[in-house]
Chain A
Amino acid sequence: MKKIVEIALGIVTSVGGFLEIGSIATAAQAGADFSFQLIWAIVLGGLSIIFLVEQAGRFSAVSGRTIPDAIRERFGFNYFAFLFLVLTLVCLLVLSAEIGGVCIALELATGVKFPFWAIPVAFVIWLVIWKGTFGVIEKGVSMLGLVTLCFVVGAWIIHPPWGQVIKSAAPSIPQHDGAHYWFVAVSILGASISPYLFFFYAAGAIEDEWKETHVGINRVIATAGMSFGSVISIAVLILAAMIFAPQGIKFEHYSQLPALLMPVFGYWGFWLVVASVGIACLGAAMEITLQMAYFAAQGFGWNWSENQRPLDEARFSAAYTLIIILGAIASLIGIDPLGLTIFSMVATAATLPVSIVPFLFLMNDYSYVRGYRNGWFSNAVVIVLIGLAFVLAVVAIPLQIFGGS
């Protein structure tokens, strides 16, 4: 019974915490510009993140180590420093986008322009991390994130042509705007396969004191949680395909988001979108902030844990405080949150090989994962992912220039 509760809680947490500003923006853009045609990109991204999250959880449960810890040990300081620099830059962009998402939700709710919300939002994020425990952030915020399931309900009620939806799960060649099509596909994959997601999941396994006995639970949570999470992204795409695409509406500003649910839920649709975007982005911002502070603390060997008093881990606490301040700057100076989101998703896609390659080595190292090493299938999937990540890295920048309209 205890295991069932643990699994259920884990799945609920993963589903509630899945959606963030990147998934919402890229799915809405894909639906508006290419109808259902890019559903395959969300499916591919979802499958990839299931494998990576499962492996990250298995790694921490069996080895009792976090990934940055092992990367520094196994690959030395020079590689760690390179990865630290790259991930810090990319995660700061994503964090800025998430803070922007919360600010936009507040702008929609109050009419007060989003830059005015940057400081209050940053303060709330900091306060929850400062006073809260890992459980509060992981479970509490993710539970609230279940409000994002309203997109799934909306997509169900709107009666999309299910045959076409299922057919779009297979990749297809674009009929028009080739560069833009591949650009949106890359940004969807960047939003789905976020290194912060599986690094944070691995750190969470240590915070929750997972042991070898959690390997089975981890597999169920990773598979079910990430699958249901991807369904929410697909629901956003379906809504955009049903509402924006037929009218030729381009998704160019977050103020268009309420239009996704208002035709279905009327007045309440507006508030459901505001709550979904606000809570999903708030949760993601906390997770990214913690992930960046964890990465520094684990790699440099500082004391760290979200469950300790800030005074007992001053460097860790100072790190997340500084990260939040830096992350709020973009919103404060009024940088367009949608443009920033799309750019940060493409940047994530471009830097994937840097974090996935060492992970493959770790998952095959007997000294860390002993008898729980990757089988041939898991290795094949990660190698394909690395290939995909390499292609994304090569094409992401030219697509940013030619297709990022």
Chain B
Amino acid sequence: MDLIRDCLDKQIEDNSKRRMGRVDGIILELETGRPPRVAYLELGVTTLMNRLSKRLGKLVARLLSRLEISPDPYRIALGKVKVGLNTVHVDVEAEKTPALEWELWLRKKVIGRIPGA
């Protein structure tokens, strides 16, 4: 598998086929004398900003910390990942992960309070 072509930036769906984000980053583990091994997929705004520029990544992380929001990206272990043709399927329940933190916050605090939501 070509990691950049087949996995990075692909749509991620949880175990009930709910869209939960995209593969924003891939974490490789390096061990002396062994080939690099894919350990996790990452989702999160800090990872995305780091891809644009390290300085921007640090700035966003600092901003999130100041707002008392964890800047750490959400990591999914490779064992729970199945890379499909168009989608990356992960064996987790999206709503129970930090990946949907913003979605749930908006649902509870903003959208859910508007009549007809």
Q: Which residues of A are found within 8 Å of B102, using beta-carbon distances?
A: 315
Per-residue contact bits, chain A 293-319, to B (CB 8 Å; 1 contact, 0 not): 000000011111000011100110110
In the complex the two chains form, is B9's CB within 8 Å of A317's CB?
Answer: no
Q: Which residues of B are found within 8 Å of A65, using beta-carbon distances?
A: 86
Q: How far is the CB of A124 from chain B (nearest CB, A)?
A: 14
Interface residue tally on B, bucketed by range: 20 to 34
Known contacts A311-B111, A311-B112, A314-B111; decide if A76 and B21 are in contact (CB<8 Å).
no
A to B contact number (C-beta, < 8 Å):
64
Q: Which residues of A are found within 8 Å of B112, using beta-carbon distances?
A: 311, 314
A76–B4 alpha-carbon span in the complex (Å): 9
Q: Is B89 an interface residue (CB 8 A)?
A: no
Q: How far is the CB of A330 from chain B (nearest CB, A)?
A: 24
In the complex the two chains form, is A301's CB within 8 Å of B21's CB?
Answer: yes
In the complex the two chains form, is B116's CB within 8 Å of A315's CB?
Answer: no
Interface residue tally on A, bucketed by range: 20 to 34
* Stretch of B10-18, B31-39, B59-67, B76-84 at the chain-chain interface: B10-18
Q: Which of B20, B22, B111 sits near A317, CB closer than 8 Å?
A: B111
In the complex the two chains form, is A310's CB within 8 Å of B18's CB?
Answer: no
In the complex the two chains form, is B51's CB within 8 Å of A77's CB?
Answer: yes
Q: Is B1 an interface residue (CB 8 A)?
A: no
Interface of B is mostly: mixed
Q: Which residues of A are found within 8 Å of B116, using beta-carbon distances?
A: 130-131, 310
In the complex the two chains form, is B110's CB within 8 Å of A301's CB?
Answer: no
Q: Which residues of B are found within 8 Å of A303, using beta-carbon distances?
A: 18-19, 103
A77–B11 alpha-carbon span in the complex (Å): 13
A247–B51 alpha-carbon span in the complex (Å): 59
A301–B86 alpha-carbon span in the complex (Å): 12
In the complex the two chains form, is B22's CB within 8 Å of A300's CB?
Answer: yes
Per-residue contact bits, chain A 48-68, to B (CB 8 Å; 1 contact, 0 not): 000000000000000011000
In the complex the two chains form, is A310's CB within 8 Å of B11's CB?
Answer: no
Q: Which residues of B are found within 8 Å of A130, using beta-carbon distances?
A: 114, 116
Q: Is A208 an interface residue (CB 8 A)?
A: no
Q: Which residues of B are found within 8 Å of A301, using beta-carbon distances?
A: 11-12, 19-22
Q: Is A6 an interface residue (CB 8 A)?
A: no
Q: Which of B72-117 contact A (CB under 8 A)?
A: 86, 102-104, 106-107, 110-112, 114, 116-117
Q: Which residues of A are found within 8 Å of B27, using beta-carbon distances?
A: none
**Nearest residue in A to B105 (C-beta to C-beta)?**
A314
Q: Is A336 an interface residue (CB 8 A)?
A: no
Q: How far is the CB of B57 from chain A (nearest CB, A)?
A: 12
A65–B21 alpha-carbon span in the complex (Å): 15
Q: Is B3 an interface residue (CB 8 A)?
A: no
Most buried by A among B9, B11, B110, B114: B9
In the complex the two chains form, is B52's CB within 8 Å of A77's CB?
Answer: yes
**Nearest residue in B to A76 (C-beta to C-beta)?**
B9
In the complex the two chains form, is B110's CB within 8 Å of A314's CB?
Answer: yes
In the complex the two chains form, is B48's CB within 8 Å of A77's CB?
Answer: yes
Residues of A within 8 A of B (CB): 64-65, 69, 72-73, 76-78, 80-81, 130-131, 300-304, 309-311, 314-315, 317-318
List 18 other contacts, CB 8 Å, given A64-B86, A73-B10, A302-B21.
A72-B22, A76-B51, A77-B24, A77-B48, A130-B116, A300-B22, A302-B103, A303-B18, A303-B103, A309-B117, A310-B117, A311-B112, A314-B106, A314-B110, A314-B112, A315-B102, A317-B117, A318-B106
